[in-house]
A and B are shown apart, each in its own frame.
Chain A
Amino acid sequence: MTMRTFRIWRGDATGGEFKTYKQETGEGMVVLDVIHRIQAEQANDMAVRWNCKAGKCGSCSMEINGKPKLACMTRMNLYHPDETITCQPVKTFPIQKDLASDVSWNYEQNKKIQPFTPKPRDPDGKYRMSQADVDRVQEFRKCIECFLCQDVCHVLRDHERHDAFVGPRFLIRLASLDMHPLDTADRIPKIKEEYGSGFCNITRCCTEVCPEHIGITDNGIIPLKERVVDRFYDPIMMLKRKLFGGC
């Protein structure tokens, strides 16, 4: 057992401050374990959201030493024994209390997206698609909605363009729908205008923080931006559509 120093932000939307806690830690512990022990032994009223402790529910998102992370997947041995570990709520969304934030804005964005709209079934009543067709979109289905990508995205985090940009999480959802071999809906105009694909400037922080290692930028956002280019910016593609039809 070693004694570790934690600085945890305590407060609510009206204000607060960092409080320092010393806590005994054991081998194999993650940051969330230590927070739970502090909560149990020193600060019973401390709010922290968590559920699975296995990196699959996306509940325990917070900022640890300034980096957006899942507390349950951040091992204590990543840090030097003398290092003070600072825990804060995510910056991009309103604080509820201590380490818990109100992420409901994300669910509002989700509602704006036209859901999966499959083509009619084959005459035998089945849908058919090959593995090659779905490999690409399966990557996007790994998302656990921890919203770390939304937190780190500077368009939302620093520039607060919540009015114009849905954020990387929902561009990934849009990519999974737009690339789906059975889907028939045309979401490209809204991806450009309403969801704000042009606000992303490809600085890739969303990809760096994703605990599921989804290629958010390279496999999701950039392909969507290229589809927007096909439709709205590429004069050759526009001429081709005029001459031969299609969208």
Chain B
Amino acid sequence: MSPSTLTGGHKAGLAQTLRADSWWTGPALTATILLGFITYSTWAAFQANHYWVDGGAEGFGGYLSPFYSPVLLVDTQAEGSVPAHHSWFGEKPDWWPSSLPFSPAFLILAFPGAFRFTCYYYRKAYYRTFTGTPPGCSVGAVPQKKYKGETSFLIFQNLHRYALYFAIAFIFILSWDAFQSYFRGGKIGIGVGSVVLTLNVVFLSCYTFGCHSYRHLIGGKMNRFSGCAIVQTRHRAWQGCSWLNTRHMLFAWVSLFGVALTDVYVRLVSMNVIKDFNTWN
């Protein structure tokens, strides 16, 4: 028996397995997509420009990239930035150090980032892909002296529900952005950008309201689903959330692509690389 083979013919060590299928394709695909998304979103956040398509009506109407919404502070000198009155707290303050790059995206991306990082689905995805605990089912995990799971350093994962609260607030904010995109100069209409922004909110909503923490808080924590009207309403909400929850992985990926592609669309229209087809022009 070789040193790496255990009793029973099992292999010992990282990524060791007798599985004959391509178990590594899942982690490889996850790594490619997640690293691609992180690279693009970081680049887009550092650009600090072309995140807004002016609707020609002083801030009401137009398209705002989800990477930059809500705009808390704005540098109006940047190309393709929102007007100052569209920003919640006005212009970038004068005291902002010139050596420190500024982007409205820096002020907000931590919140959706925290929601995805602590998400029960993404935890599976990145634990398998990046920490190798384990890389695949019945595939050797990264050896550790005393594995602690989420009881030690990773104990913060238990506060996923607080990231959820921010994520729900973002759903309302992005819904308002999508709603506004159907109005320009007092006229109702529709553009490809309006549809893109709306689909982005729909996908994000399906992901957010299928969250395991939301499912628990909305009704899963109860042991009785029969009773008064409130209990029955919570049961129905739990059932609806459970439907989304069984598709949580699907919406996790679709919404991730959705938010990046929405930014790409707004950016290209803002840069005049592509034209937005709409009913106003």
Contacts and interface: CB of A to CB of B under 8 A. Distances in A.
B140 interface: yes
B159 interface: yes
B123 interface: yes
B226 A132 contact: yes
Interface residues of B, number: 50
Question: How extensive is the interface on chain A, given as a class?
Answer: 35 or more
B110 interface: no
Most chain B CB atoms below 10 A, which of A68, A157, A202? A202
B10 A227 contact: no
A205 interface: yes
B101 interface: no
A66 B221 contact: no
Given A88-B18, A155-B147, A218-B246, A67 B138 contact: yes
Interface stretch (A13-21, A23-31, A34-42, A110-118): A13-21
B158 A155 contact: no
A233 interface: yes
30 contacts: A14-B7, A18-B9, A63-B18, A66-B19, A67-B137, A68-B138, A86-B18, A88-B9, A95-B8, A132-B225, A133-B226, A135-B225, A136-B225, A157-B138, A159-B144, A161-B146, A161-B147, A165-B149, A200-B150, A201-B133, A202-B120, A202-B123, A203-B123, A203-B128, A203-B133, A209-B137, A223-B221, A225-B158, A228-B158, A229-B158
Given A91-B8, A225-B158, A229-B158, 11 more contacts: A65-B21, A66-B20, A91-B138, A133-B224, A133-B225, A179-B223, A199-B150, A201-B150, A203-B123, A222-B120, A227-B221
Contact of B8 (A9, A129, A130, A218): A9
Chain B contact residues: over half helix, strand or loop, or mixed?
Answer: loop
Contacts of B158: 225, 228-229, 232-234
B281 to A, nearest CB: 47
Contacts of B100: none
B229 interface: no
Interface of A: 9, 11, 13-18, 63, 65-68, 83, 86, 88-91, 95, 129-130, 132-133, 135-136, 151-152, 154-155, 157-159, 161, 165, 178-181, 183, 196, 198-205, 208-209, 215, 217-218, 222-223, 225-230, 232-234
Interface of B: 1, 6-10, 17-21, 120, 123-124, 127-128, 133-134, 137-138, 140-141, 143-144, 146-151, 154-155, 158-159, 161, 212-213, 215-217, 220-221, 223-226, 235, 245-246, 248
A54 to B, nearest CB: 24
Contacts of B150: 198-201
B18 A66 contact: yes
Contacts of B141: 154, 157-159
A144 to B, nearest CB: 19
Contact of B124 (A135, A151, A203): A203
Nearest to B245: A218
A178 B224 CA distance: 11
A218 B212 contact: yes
A13 B20 CA distance: 26
A71 B128 CA distance: 27
Nearest to B11: A66
Contacts of B137: 67-68, 152, 203, 205, 208-209
Contacts of B8: 9, 11, 16, 88-91, 95
